[in-house]
Structure formats: structure tokens, C-alpha cells
Structure 1
Amino acid sequence: MSNWQADPLHPIAVLVDELRAEDVTLRLNAIHRISTICIALGPERTRAELLPFLQESLDDDDEILVALAEELGAPFVEYVGGPDHAHTILPLLEHLAGVEETLVRDKAAQSANAVCNLLSQDQVDEYFVPLVRRLATGEWFTSRTSATALFAAAYPKATSPVQDELIKMFSKLCDDDTPMVRRASAKELGAFAKKLPHDQLIQDLLPAFRKLAGDDQDSVRLLTVDAMIAIAEQLNEVECKSLLGQSMKSLVTDRSWRVRYMVADHFIQLAKAAGQDIVREDLVAAFVSLLKDQEAEVRTAAAGQIPGFAELTDRDTILARLLPCIRDLSTDQSQHVRAALGSQISGLAPQLGKDATIEHLLPLFLQLLKDEFPEVRLNIISKLEVVNNVIGIELLSKALLPAIVQLAEDKQWRVRQAIIEYIPLLGKQLGVDFFDDQLANLCMGWLGDPVFSIREAATINLRKLTEVFGVGWAKETIIPKVVEMGQNVNYLYRMTTVFAITTMAPALDVDSIRTSILPSVETLAADRIPNIRFNVAKAFEVLSASLASQPGGPDLVKESLLPSIENLLGDPDADVRFFAEKAAEKARAVANGETQAVSEEVVMTDA
């Protein structure tokens, strides 16, 4: 009988009781406390008592096994006595690497690799490589799939003869009868390729890659795309073209759309790894083929690569080869393709320059801004700043202003919100006169929008515009219109006035608050709607914070804000009294010169 079996208070005996609990949460907590138990036992007893116990107790829920696999990583090495004894963890991880649940095996492989990094060369040859060998030749495919993830960690630390054996073992797994093992090999091939010397990569691993790239299972072939990129990065341009050129062409024109999708989704990485000569001679045509693919998913993925690939080509190629495809994509029958294009097309502007952008891209922007699918319009709007940097805001706004005005009333609120966020940039670049003439009424109209998020964004927009154009402009142009809304019979408009005042307050000076803001707020403090009154109390709190550090601000708080807040302290509504108490506390602190009371966030509430 083991020591812990005779002693019910022994740490392992306590652990046993917890692991036998019916509640999975209790068992998980027990696993996560293993490090504490190791500290209590010490390294020697951990190796002699705890590890054997865990080895015998591995039949449990997958959730428990995942947690255990995570615990047995690199940090656990110190609990068994440091790197010299790190190999004692490997039998446990080997067992976990062979179970049926994929997540458990993946975590076990990750932990095994982490432990391997701490082993000496002798330990790798004596303990880790035999583990890899047993898994790689296991009867069940589960152990063989786990083995594929261990080669990249083992190879650099093994001796030369063992390295040759590892390459042969991996090559054999790439030719395994079971598709799941070949799939795992394809997934791990890229990481292993990065560890091999140049000559051995070409001589020993490249044939394995070609077999996987021509596999009859598309789930295997699509995983070779990452491996091909990793191999290409290890080769020069001449080698890349001669050794990988045919594989690239085959994958681009693969009969399975899933493989072509994977190529399209990784096309920029592939092009960068392949080099300029292959891009110019082969990959432009391949990219055009993907942009014209019969499957919408492939065209969507390719559209997302347009700006990045364009950077690797020249302007003439973009105009002659890519732009015709882009025009076709702008009218693609799939809304997802058009949405992907909308989020990326602006990235072409820096490549084309001002004149070509005006001639070729602006018409496409206008077309996409009128698209029936909201996400297309939203994606175009969110990336206009890139185009602005190329052609200038004045030209851009003149071309797009009618569309912007139309989108300001779009039935999709997210589109309206995106336009609001773009307004301060337009205002800053175009100047106050243009804004007052063309956009001011638009901004005020959003304050009455039926969607709260739009009204909230509109008030933030007013603050940003105040920061752009100055307090004098706000006092003359915006504040009168905001104050006027506070007299509206509609509850919604009065509430929006409170929101707008609260949001704009940090950007206003003492004089503006005294003459333009306070009279309206004091009137709203007596509103018949409790929601308005308690939001007024919040507004008083923000105003107090805004005035705290301004000359004359504390005096204004003492003379005007505090009396109004104290009136709200006797309000019949409990919520109003609660927020009035908070506002009074802030106002008194400011009035007494305690300026550290500034800048506490106040969350407004819309009923």
C-alpha cells in the first residue's frame, strides 16, 4: 500500500477524493490545484507518488483530461525537480496524446513540445524520440496524428543519426493509409520544414509535400497551402519556381473549391514567399483566375487580398489585369463578394495615384455606395480616409457628397452611424463654411433619430466638431439648436438635449456654460418626466467636473449648479434623488477647490 493510501490527510488522498466527486467543476478545480500539491510533496515525492497516481487515474471526462494536459506543460517541470527530471512527465503526456478526443491530444502535444524545449540532447535521444517513435508507429490513428506535431520540436535537439530517422518517420506518416493522419501531416509539414537544413528540405521533405499536394482528399490538399508557403520561404526564387511552380498552378486550379479558397485566402503570403519573378510571370494570371472563380466563396477570399497583392505588382498591371476583374466584382451577384470588395478597394488608391483613382476608382465607390446590401455601403464608408489621403478631401467630398447625404437617411442604422463618424473628418478638411452650408442641418437631424445609438453618436459628433471648430462656433451655431430642442413637447427631443449637453460639456468654456447651457439645464431639472430629471442630475455632475479646472469654474458651480442640484435632492423620485446625491457630492468638492474630483465617467440612460 502506498503512503498516501494509508493516510487520509495525505495531499494525494485529498486529491483522490476531489477527483472522485460527481461535480465536474470540483474535479477541474482539483486538477488546477495540482501545482499546489506538488509544492507540498516536493519534487522527489511528486515524481515517485503523484505522477504514477495520475498515470493510473487518466480515465475521466475529456474536460478533465484537457485541463491535465495543460497543467503538464513547461511550468510543471520545476515541480518534478527541473529540466534534469523533465522527462518524467513524458509518459503521462504520451498517454494523453493517444486518447480519442482531438482537443486532449492537441493540448498534450503542445505540452510535450514545451517540455522537449527544456530537455538536453541526450534526454531527447533517450526519452523524447522513443516517445515520438511509439506514437508514430501506434496501431490507432489517434496516436499517429499526435506524433506529427512533435517532429518540429524534436528535430533541432536530436543527434544527426536520429534526425535522419525523424525525417523518414515523418515521410512515412505523410503516406499513411488513414486520411486523418495525412491531414495532420499536411498541417504540421510547414513547421517541420522550417527546422530542416536547406538540402535535406529539398531532398527528403519536398517529395512528401508533393504527395500530400496531390492527395485524393481535398481536406488534405487544402492544408498543404500553408506548408507550401513555409517551404517557399526557405528557397530562393529560382528554386521556388522550378520546385514548387507546378504545385502552385495545380492548387490554384484545383477541382475542389475549398482548396482554391485556401489558396485565395493566403495569396499575399504565397506571393511574398515566391518572389517577384514568379509573381510577374505566373501569379498575376493565377490571381485573376481566382478573382473570376465560379465559386462566390473563392471570389470573396480573393477580393480580400486585392490591395496586398497590388503592392507586389506595378501600376500598369493593376490597370490592365486587375481592374477589369474589380469592375466585374463590383456588380457580382453575391453580396458577400461585393462587401469584401467594398472593404478593400480603397487600398488600391495609394498604388494608383490621384489621377487614376479619380478616373477608375471613384465611379466604383459611387456605385458601391448605392448598393442594396448595407454591409457593402458600410465597408466603403469606413475606408474612405485612405482615398482622402490620395485625392484630397475637397475632391472626394464633392464627388461623394450627394451619396453621403443619401446615406445619412439610410434605413440601416449602422450605415447612418458610419456616416456620423466620418463627419468630423469632412468638417476638419473642408472648413467651417462648407460644413455650415452643407452638413450642419444633417448633424442636427441625427439628434432626433429614432435609434438611440444614432442619437448617442450624434451627440459625440457635436463634441468632436466643437473641438475642431472651437467653442465660439459651437456657441453660435450648435448650442442654440440643441437648447431649442429642450423646449420641444416630444420627450425624446428633451432627453436628447440633456445627452448633447452632457457630451459637449468637456469641450465648452465657463462663459458658454453660464450663458448658453445652464438656463436650459435648470429648466429641464423641473421636467415632469423623472427620466429626464435624473439624467439632468447626471449632467450637473459632468458640468461640475468640466468646470473644476477652469478659471471661475468653481465659483459658477457654487453659485448656480449647487442650488439647482439641492432642489433635486428633495425630488419625489428615488432615482432622481440618488443621482442628485452623487452630483451634489461632486459639486461640493469642486466648489471647495478639490479639483481631483474631475473626470468621473457618467453613463446616461435612455428610457
Structure 2
Amino acid sequence: MASYYDDTETRPLQLLVDELKSDDVQLRLNAIHRVSTIALALGQQRAREELIPFLSESVDDEDEVLLALAEELGKGFEEYIGGKEYAHLLLGPLETLSTAEETLIRDKATESITKVAAVLSPSQIEGYYLPLIKRLSRGEWFTSRSSAASLYAPVYDVVSDVNKEEMRKAFAALGSDDTPMVRRAAAKALGPFAKKMSKEDVLSSALLVYKKLATDDQDSVRLLTVQDLIVISTPLSTEDIKKHLLVQLRSSVSDKSWRVRYMVANHFVELADAVGQDLVREELVSAFVQLLKDNEAEVRTAGAGQIPGFAKLIDQELILARLLPCVRDASQDVSQHVRAALANQISGLAPLLGKDATIEHLLPLFLHLLKDEFPDVRLNIISKLEQVNSVIGIELLSQSLLPAIVELAEDKQWRVRQAIIEYIPLLARQLGKNFFDEQLGNLCMGWLADHVWSIREAATINLKKLTEVFGVEWARTAIIPKVVAMSTHPSYLFRMTTVLAITTIAPTLSVEALRDDVLDPLILLATDPIPNIRFNVAKSLEVIAQTMGKIPEGSQVSQKRIIPTVESLKNDSDADVRYFASRALVQAQRAAAAA
């Protein structure tokens, strides 16, 4: 490594040259990742005079190598060549990379050019950056013109008015380019560019480019103009929007391409915020209803995700009259994705409607969605009940909700029962300890006796999560006694479930709970006549020993109670029992030695 920092020799650069000429792609890639180290070894002057020209000539390589080079040059590389006053030298290799055929390389190169631009002085921008944009914008290949589009916005607000006018004209030319890929790049870059413009320039320049792109024959271009519409609308008055943008707004909502309508639906709340309250009521309510009734499920899904956000912008009367019928239809949509999106958002309407309207209109929809055959729908409803709880109260919510949960918990399909078990911790966190103990505690314990193994396993994991929610003291009174009571059950399956439950919840328990409540019944099961139970006891003692080893006072418990038990199991007649007992003994001895 010493030779890398020998500033008197050419070895660092020669090493880079040799590695970049290697047939091994990985070697060349590693060389690029070390280019900052090479620059440091060469020193700032030689890095400027030798390394940068060499890198400019080394842009004919595998895509992953070029991608790495484009990234490295944007990581503050100017510090290795003398600081900000020489940062413009990095634009040379990056300009070449920004014309590459591979999109990822071009995107990374333009990203790095933007980072370099942030440290350039106004004179460097005028002398080096703007000429770079001009060359790229007039390039023969579409790749250079595509890259140019994203480079206008970063420096627009720091150049002279004359240059601003030239930049607006040059960007407009990109928006009218013959190649769809260039127009697509212009549509993507128009929003950030327009953000930097004054209102007058938006009306005289950005608006014209937007209208041209919004009527493009390629839907891949039109869909990108939705976000441009949001940006352009923001600084304009309601009258300006009505005069200049209303036609385009209506056209986007009714566009022949579902992908454009999807983009409108997906950004509808942003669009509504941008155009203002008057147009929301006059135009966008009807437009939103149209999107919620679209014939494409993807559009309806995106619209469903915007419901509560849009509802905040209108009054309760309009919500009940116009949106709620669409919500009811969406709750019965043929697409499970539409129903899932609605279930994830519908609870957001409760605070807007108030208690009475929520009880009358939303609760029936909650209960309907809670019985949906698609698991994500049920999960989304349950995970957002806290908002409903805050509006109508836990008592009323539980009266409505509990029958549906109980019905699902006893469903004949075990996968449905398992899905409900997985939702219980979410419910517990939202509905509180008292409600859980009164209404769901027995239900959770009942799952431990289910005839399906997966349900019993899920039930033990559920107990661990509930302990994390409500705390160890709650578990010592509400869970552990019931689990321990199963250890003397005549059925082998019940005794096995006890061991499984203890193993699962042990890491969440305190030393006191393990020592006083769990260990004795577990040790008794070490003499169970069923080998499967005995080796699972050994596995459980291993877990408990690990927990004990983390706490000083746990060492005595391991020494006096766990080690004797696992030593006896080491002499068991069953090979599996002996194996797991040996593992447990190692952990127990470590725990005993921890003090």
C-alpha cells in the first residue's frame, strides 16, 4: 500500500492503467472504486493533469464499470483535484458518460453533473456548464439530448437573464424533439425547471411546452405531464388556471390511455391542492368520481388511495352525496386490489364525517371489508381502526367489531383463522389492555388447543407479540398461568404446546418470570414419557439459558436448576433428546459463567 502514496513515482496511475486494461471486469470495476485513492496518491496537480484526461479517454468499457465511474466522479471528487475552482474539469468525462447508450449510466452521469454544478461559481457555470448543456441539447444522438433535459433546472436561478431566455428556448426545442425519448425526458424535467421560473416565465414559456407535451401522441410522454401540471398550476391564480389549463386537466382525466388516467388518480390530492378550492368544487369532484368509476382496476385502485386526502378538501355534504356512493361501490369491487386500497384508506373518512355519520355509513362497510376473502383487505381494515376508535369510541366499536372477529377466528378454513391470529397484536395495540382481556383473551388461549399445528404455532407467536405490547407483568397474570396449566393435560398435544409457548415467549420475559413461573413446570416435563416433548424441553431450556446469560442474577438459576436438568437429559435413551440436551448444556454453562 505504501506505493499508492508515493507522490514521486508514476506507479499509482500506472496501476490504474494496467487494471483498466485487464480482461477481468471485476478488476476494472475495483480500480474505478479506488480512483479517489489513486487521486490522493497522485496529488491534486497530477490528478488534474494526468488522471482526469485519462478518465476522459477511458469511457469505452462495460456498462457496470462506466456506471461506477459516473458515480465516483459525483462523490465530491473535486476535493482530490484542487477544490471547487477546478470542479469544472470533472464535466469533461461526465459529459461523455451522459451520452452513453445505457440509460442507467446517463442518469448517474447527469446526477453527478448536477452535484458538480452545486459547487461551481457563476463564472464557471457561464464558461463551462452552459456550453455543456448547449452541446448536449444539439447532439446528433438522442442520448445526449435526453440527458440535457435534466440539466437546465439546477443552474437556472443563478444565470443572467439573457442566459435564462436562451435556456427556455433551448428547453422548448427539446419538448418538440422528433424523438419520443427526448420528449419524455423533457416532460420529466419540465416540472423541476418550471419551479425555478417566475410566474411570467411560466405563463410565457413553461405553459407552452406543457401544452405541447400534454397532447403528445405517446402516452409515455403524456403521463409524465401530470406532475408538470401540478407544478405549473401552483403559482397561477384560479382565473389563469381556468383560462390556460382547464382543457388539459379535463383531457387528462378522460385520456384514452389508462396509464395517463392512473397518473392523474395517483396524484389527485396534489393536483387538487395546486388548482385551489374553487376549482376543486367546480371541476375536480366530478373528475374524481369519474376516476373512481374508471373501467380499469389500476385507475380505481389509485383513486381509492386518494379518498381521505381529497375528502379533506371538500365539505361533509359533498362527501356524503358524491364520494360515499363510490366508496360503497369500491367495497364490493371485483378487484381485490381496489378493495385493499380502500380498506387501507377508508378509516380516514371517520374524523371528517363525525360520530353519527361514521356509525351510519362507515361501520357497515368496515364489517363488510373485515369479512373479505382477500387477507390484505382484512389486515388493512384492522391496522387502521385507531382512527375510527377515536371518533366513535371503543365501546361502540367493540360491539360492532367483536362478532366479526369471533366469526373469523372460528372459521372452518384454518388459513382464515391463522390470518386473524396475525392481526390480534395490531388490534391489541389499538383497542387496549382492558378490551383485550375482556373480549379476546380467552379466544387467544383457545387457539393453543387448535387441531391444526400451524394455528397452535401462530398462537404461541401471538402470545409473544402480546407480551411485547402489554408487558411482562401482564403476561405473568394473563398468559403464563393458562399456558402452565396445560402442562399437566392428559393429551400429548397440549403438553407439547406448553413447551412451544414457553420457548417462544421466553426471550420477552424477565428473569423473575422465568425463574418463578416457568422453570418448574418445564423441568417437570423433562421427565415426560414422550421423547418429542423431552427434546423440546431441552431446546426450551437452551433458549432460557441464553436469556439468563444476559443478566448477572441469571447465572445462579442456570447453575442450580437448568444445568442439572439438561445433564440428566444428556443420558436420555433417545438420541435426539441427548443431542439437544448437549446444546442446552453449553448455553447453560456459559450463562453460569457469565457472572
**TM-score scaled by length of structure 1:** 0.88
- Counterpart position of 2:199: 198
Given that 1:268 and 1:308 are in contact with CA atoms closer than 8 Å, whether structure 2 keeps it comes out as: yes
Q: How far off is 1:232 after superposition?
A: 2.0
Given that 1:382 and 1:418 are in contact with CA atoms closer than 8 Å, whether structure 2 keeps it comes out as: no
For 1:137-162, what per-residue CA distance to the aligned partner results, in whole angstroms no more than 9, with x for missing partners? Answer: 11111110000010011212222211
Q: Which consecutive residues of structure 2, in runs of 5 or more, have no partner in the other structure?
A: 1-7
Quote the Cα distance in structure 2 between the aligned partners of 1:202 and 1:546.
Answer: 68
Q: How far off is 1:52 after superposition?
A: 1.4
- Counterpart position of 2:85: 84
* Secondary structure in 2 matching 1:450: helix
- Counterpart position of 2:175: 174
Quote the Cα distance in structure 2 between the aligned partners of 1:105 and 1:305.
Answer: 34
Counterpart mapping for 1:553-564 below 5 A = 559-564=560-565
Quote the Cα distance in structure 1 between the aligned partners of 2:146 and 2:225.
Answer: 16
- Counterpart position of 1:35: 36
Counterpart mapping for 1:71-150 below 5 A = 71-150=72-151
Quote the Cα distance in structure 1 between the aligned partners of 2:206 and 2:130.
Answer: 19
- Counterpart position of 2:5: none
- Counterpart position of 1:421: 425
Quote the Cα distance in structure 1 between the aligned partners of 2:273 and 2:457.
Answer: 42
Query: Kindly tell me: are residues 358 and 468 of structure 1, through their superposed partners in 2, closer, same or farther at Cα, counting changes over 3 Å?
Result: farther
Q: How far off is 1:578 after superposition?
A: 2.5
* Secondary structure in 1 matching 2:471: helix
1:536 aligns with 2:540: yes
Counterpart mapping for 1:348-367 below 5 A = 348-367=349-368
Quote the Cα distance in structure 2 between the aligned partners of 1:233 and 1:227.
Answer: 10
Quote the Cα distance in structure 1 between the aligned partners of 2:71 and 2:386.
Answer: 45
* Secondary structure in 1 matching 2:492: coil
Query: Kindly tell me: are residues 456 and 150 of structure 1, through their superposed partners in 2, closer, same or farther at Cα, counting changes over 3 Å?
Result: farther
Read off the aligned partner of 2:67 and give its amino acid letter. Answer: V
Read off the aligned partner of 1:33 and give its amino acid letter. Answer: R
Single out whichever of 464-473 and 220-229 deviates more from structure 2: 464-473
Query: Kindly tell me: are residues 17 and 453 of structure 1, through their superposed partners in 2, closer, same or farther at Cα, counting changes over 3 Å?
Result: farther
- Counterpart position of 2:463: 459
- Counterpart position of 1:407: 408
Single out whichever of 199-208 and 135-144 deviates more from structure 2: 199-208
Q: How far off is 1:456 after superposition?
A: 4.3
- Counterpart position of 1:309: 310
Quote the Cα distance in structure 2 between the aligned partners of 1:488 and 1:497.
Answer: 11
For 1:424-478, what per-residue CA distance to the aligned partner results, in whole angstroms no more than 9, with x for missing partners? Answer: 3446242634445x63544544696425761442231452576388356337852
1:226 aligns with 2:217: no
Given that 1:404 and 1:419 are in contact with CA atoms closer than 8 Å, whether structure 2 keeps it comes out as: no
- Counterpart position of 1:50: 51
For 1:384-424, what per-residue CA distance to the aligned partner results, in whole angstroms no more than 9, with x for missing partners? Answer: 22222222222222212222123224543662343322453
1:290 aligns with 2:291: yes
* Secondary structure in 2 matching 1:259: helix
Quote the Cα distance in structure 1 between the aligned partners of 2:469 and 2:117.
Answer: 58
Query: Kindly tell me: are residues 567 and 182 of structure 1, through their superposed partners in 2, closer, same or farther at Cα, counting changes over 3 Å?
Result: same
For 1:573-600, what per-residue CA distance to the aligned partner results, in whole angstroms no more than 9, with x for missing partners? Answer: 34431232112321454xxxx4xxxxxx
Q: How far off is 1:338 after superposition?
A: 1.3
Quote the Cα distance in structure 2 between the aligned partners of 1:261 and 1:12.
Answer: 52
Given that 2:66 and 2:105 are in contact with CA atoms closer than 8 Å, whether structure 1 keeps it comes out as: yes
- Counterpart position of 1:604: none
For 1:213-248, what per-residue CA distance to the aligned partner results, in whole angstroms no more than 9, with x for missing partners? Answer: 111111111000111112222334443343322221
Quote the Cα distance in structure 2 between the aligned partners of 1:93 and 1:249.
Answer: 41
* Secondary structure in 2 matching 1:439: helix
Q: How far off is 1:561 after superposition?
A: 3.7
Q: How far off is 1:285 after superposition?
A: 1.1
Query: Kindly tell me: are residues 514 and 579 of structure 1, through their superposed partners in 2, closer, same or farther at Cα, counting changes over 3 Å?
Result: closer
Q: Once superposed, what is the RMSD of the aligned Cα atoms?
A: 2.8
Read off the aligned partner of 1:274 and give its amino acid letter. Answer: V
Query: Kindly tell me: are residues 496 and 539 of structure 1, through their superposed partners in 2, closer, same or farther at Cα, counting changes over 3 Å?
Result: farther
Query: Kindly tell me: are residues 45 and 510 of structure 1, through their superposed partners in 2, closer, same or farther at Cα, counting changes over 3 Å?
Result: closer
1:69 aligns with 2:70: yes
Query: Kindly tell me: are residues 92 and 398 of structure 1, through their superposed partners in 2, closer, same or farther at Cα, counting changes over 3 Å?
Result: same
Read off the aligned partner of 2:590 and give its amino acid letter. Answer: E
Quote the Cα distance in structure 1 between the aligned partners of 2:440 and 2:589.
Answer: 39
Given that 1:148 and 1:188 are in contact with CA atoms closer than 8 Å, whether structure 2 keeps it comes out as: yes
Q: How far off is 1:18 after superposition?
A: 1.1
Query: Kindly tell me: are residues 570 and 231 of structure 1, through their superposed partners in 2, closer, same or farther at Cα, counting changes over 3 Å?
Result: farther
Q: How far off is 1:298 after superposition?
A: 0.5
Read off the aligned partner of 1:581 and give its amino acid letter. Answer: V
Counterpart mapping for 1:407-556 below 5 A = 407-408=408-409, 409=411, 410-412=413-415, 415-425=419-429, 426=431, 428-430=433-435, 432-435=437-440, 439-445=443-449, 449-450=453-454, 454-461=458-465, 463-464=467-468, 467=471, 470=474, 473-474=477-478, 478-484=482-488, 488-490=491-493, 493-505=494-506, 513=514, 516-526=517-527, 528-529=531-532, 531-541=535-545, 544=548
- Counterpart position of 2:4: none
Query: Kindly tell me: are residues 508 and 24 of structure 1, through their superposed partners in 2, closer, same or farther at Cα, counting changes over 3 Å?
Result: closer
For 1:68-93, what per-residue CA distance to the aligned partner results, in whole angstroms no more than 9, with x for missing partners? Answer: 11111151111121111111111111
Query: Kindly tell me: are residues 84 and 314 of structure 1, through their superposed partners in 2, closer, same or farther at Cα, counting changes over 3 Å?
Result: same
Q: How far off is 1:130 after superposition?
A: 0.5
Quote the Cα distance in structure 1 between the aligned partners of 2:512 and 2:125.
Answer: 76
Quote the Cα distance in structure 2 between the aligned partners of 1:216 and 1:476.
Answer: 68
Percent identity for Structure 1 against Structure 2? 49
Quote the Cα distance in structure 2 between the aligned partners of 1:263 and 1:327.
Answer: 22
- Counterpart position of 1:4: none
Q: How far off is 1:559 after superposition?
A: 4.3
For 1:489-545, what per-residue CA distance to the aligned partner results, in whole angstroms no more than 9, with x for missing partners? Answer: 23xx54542342244447767776556422221123345237414312224315636
Read off the aligned partner of 2:591 and give its amino acid letter. Answer: K
Quote the Cα distance in structure 2 between the aligned partners of 1:140 and 1:90.
Answer: 19
For 1:3-37, what per-residue CA distance to the aligned partner results, in whole angstroms no more than 9, with x for missing partners? Answer: xxxx9962222112211222221111000000011
Given that 1:446 and 1:454 are in contact with CA atoms closer than 8 Å, whether structure 2 keeps it comes out as: no
1:577 aligns with 2:582: yes
Quote the Cα distance in structure 1 between the aligned partners of 2:154 and 2:561.
Answer: 72
- Counterpart position of 1:341: 342
- Counterpart position of 1:157: 158
Q: How far off is 1:113 after superposition?
A: 0.9
Given that 1:342 and 1:368 are in contact with CA atoms closer than 8 Å, whether structure 2 keeps it comes out as: yes
Quote the Cα distance in structure 2 between the aligned partners of 1:510 and 1:157.
Answer: 65
Query: Kindly tell me: are residues 547 and 484 of structure 1, through their superposed partners in 2, closer, same or farther at Cα, counting changes over 3 Å?
Result: farther
Quote the Cα distance in structure 1 between the aligned partners of 2:480 and 2:535.
Answer: 29
Given that 1:447 and 1:496 are in contact with CA atoms closer than 8 Å, whether structure 2 keeps it comes out as: no
Given that 1:221 and 1:259 are in contact with CA atoms closer than 8 Å, whether structure 2 keeps it comes out as: yes
Given that 1:524 and 1:536 are in contact with CA atoms closer than 8 Å, whether structure 2 keeps it comes out as: no
* Secondary structure in 2 matching 1:60: coil
Single out whichever of 391-400 and 125-134 deviates more from structure 2: 391-400
Given that 2:448 and 2:455 are in contact with CA atoms closer than 8 Å, whether structure 1 keeps it comes out as: no
Quote the Cα distance in structure 1 between the aligned partners of 2:349 and 2:486.
Answer: 41
Query: Kindly tell me: are residues 555 and 130 of structure 1, through their superposed partners in 2, closer, same or farther at Cα, counting changes over 3 Å?
Result: closer
